Copies of this chain bind each other. A is one copy, B any other.
Amino acid sequence: MPIPEQDTRPWETLADFTLRGDRSGLEEYLNQLPTAQQSLAMDRLSDDQREAVLELLDAQYAAELVARLPEFQAVDILEELEPDLAAAILSKLASNEQADLIGELDREDADAILNLMDPNDAASARRLSEYDDHIAGGLMVTEYLRYPLTWTAQKVIDDLATHADQYRHYDVQYAYLIDRAGRLKGVLRMRDLLLSSRSVSVAQYMITNPLSVRDKTTLDELFEVFDRNHFFGVPVVNDEGILVGVVHRVAVEEARADRHDSDYLKRQGIVGGEEVRSMPLFLRSRRRLAWLSVNILLNILAASVIAMYQETLQSVIALAVFLPIISDMSGCSGNQAVAVSLRELSMGLVRENEFWRVWLKEVGVGLFNGIALGILIAVVAWIWQGNAYLGLVVGLALGLNTIVAVSIGGLVPLVLKRFKIDPAIASGPLLTTVTDMCGFFLVLSIASLLLHRLV
């Protein structure tokens, strides 16, 4: 699969093919364009150009293209399209992709599109889109092999031959066998079907009591299920035991990766966990500002400690140089501890109530690194101002505050998790506020004690 040299402006090439009405040229060009470049090109086209591209493509091809784009981008595109074109594209998507997109569309847009789809498909898509994205119901597909358990092996084989084209993208390692009410009764392995005697009912060859999950099973539970089993897919049943879909291992892995990405953005202060620069300016500003305004208040709170020591600072103005250093370095040390705690929590290597263990492990690192950093900053201060006591003050303050920072950084995620607050989002601001306050207090109060040696 050769990946071509970067085209400088792939969107212009798309627009050119479209203007010329050259469908096969357009498809050929897209075939050799890496996915990331397809996203880029679609992103940079004007709304009209994008509509023209999707209109020119075969609906199946257009659907595959849309399915490869990041979800928010696909949603934006569908909302801008004429409803009939959007409906034609949506109809060609796999059921879980369909449901994801419909769930994200504005209700009005979604209704307009669904009204133009085949009524059965639309009803099914609407039902699927009501599931939350991150439970089995939201991750499952409805494209899978399902047969009444009374069928003979021959009848199943005939069905496979007849619908070969429709089943092309299915995972056909397993067929699911149901009773008359639609309840899951067994799983038939393709290999067992192969070796079966053709006139006998498939129920003879099925695995009874197969592993299944409920439609409400959460992402973490699904991950656990796949972690402990080698299956590529697991059947999903509703409260009545009726088979409603199949969730694939791959869908679970993808959903977890998406959650990680969105957690990372939240941690960096992007409220909502999603931003790309093609979003409207006002939305982007507002989401970022929501986080910044909380932070500035916390910052003012922390800095108020400095205000209480203005006289000390006035006498030893050199201290003002070290305040931001101590604030920043404590933040760095603390964030390292936060990152390790978040990781250990997510891997299950630490429990929410193991404060003592985490603290002991962190305090060792804090002591060691606090001494190293304290000595370094002390030497710098001493040399710069020629006053060993100034070195002592800032070195001692940074050393002690490093221990405080790793302790708080290590513990805050556990405490937040215990109080059911998302530790990924709240740990950072909490950490820096407390370590800043403590750091400023340490420098300035130690300096006040040794004031006669400093001036």
Contacts and interface: CB of A to CB of B under 8 A. Distances in A.
B432 A328 contact: yes
A376 B268 contact: no
A70 interface: yes
Contacts of A281: 361, 364-365, 368
Contact of A230 (B169, B268, B300, B329): B169
A313 B320 contact: yes
Interface in A298-321: 299-300, 302-304, 306-307, 310, 313-314, 317-318, 320-321
Contacts of A317: 310, 313-314, 317
A77 interface: no
Interface residues of A, number: 116
A323 B284 CA distance: 27
Interface stretch (A14-22, A122-130, A157-165, A176-184): A157-165
Interface in A225-244: 225, 227-228, 230, 232
A34 interface: yes
A289 B369 contact: yes
A19 to B, nearest CB: 24
Contacts of A340: 265, 270, 275-277
Interface string A56-95: 0000000000001010000000000000000000000000
A195 B250 CA distance: 28
B377 A296 contact: yes
Nearest to A265: B339
B338 A295 contact: no
Contacts of A350: 40, 277
A285 interface: yes
Given A268-B336, A317-B314, A343-B261, A369 B292 contact: yes
Interface string A182-195: 00000000110111
Nearest to A302: B324
Nearest to A64: B228
Most B CB within 10 A of own CB, among A167, A173, A191, A306: A191
Contact of A324 (B1, B260, B261, B303): B303
Contact of A306 (B1, B265, B321, B333): B321
A135 to B, nearest CB: 14
B195 A1 contact: no
Chain A interface mostly? helix
Contact of A332 (B190, B276, B292, B376): B292
B343 A160 contact: no
Given A36-B348, A340-B270, A191 B190 contact: yes
A4 B281 CA distance: 48
B277 A306 contact: no
A335 interface: yes
Contacts of A328: 295, 299, 327-328, 331, 432, 436
Contacts of A270: 336, 339-340
Contacts of A368: 281-282, 285, 289
B1 A348 contact: no
A155 interface: no
Interface in A351-394: 351, 357-358, 361-362, 364-365, 368-369, 372-373, 376-377, 380, 384
Given A349-B40, A376-B296, A264 B369 contact: no
A40 to B, nearest CB: 5
A261 B349 CA distance: 15
Contacts of A48: none
A404 to B, nearest CB: 15
A321 B309 CA distance: 10
Most B CB within 10 A of own CB, among A296, A323, A377: A296
23 contacts: A6-B351, A37-B348, A157-B195, A232-B232, A270-B336, A276-B340, A277-B349, A282-B368, A285-B369, A291-B332, A292-B333, A292-B336, A295-B328, A295-B329, A295-B332, A296-B329, A296-B377, A299-B324, A303-B325, A306-B320, A313-B317, A314-B317, A328-B436
Given A39-B347, A295-B329, 18 more contacts: A68-B227, A160-B194, A171-B173, A171-B232, A172-B173, A173-B173, A257-B260, A276-B344, A281-B365, A295-B328, A296-B325, A296-B329, A299-B324, A302-B324, A303-B321, A306-B320, A306-B324, A320-B323
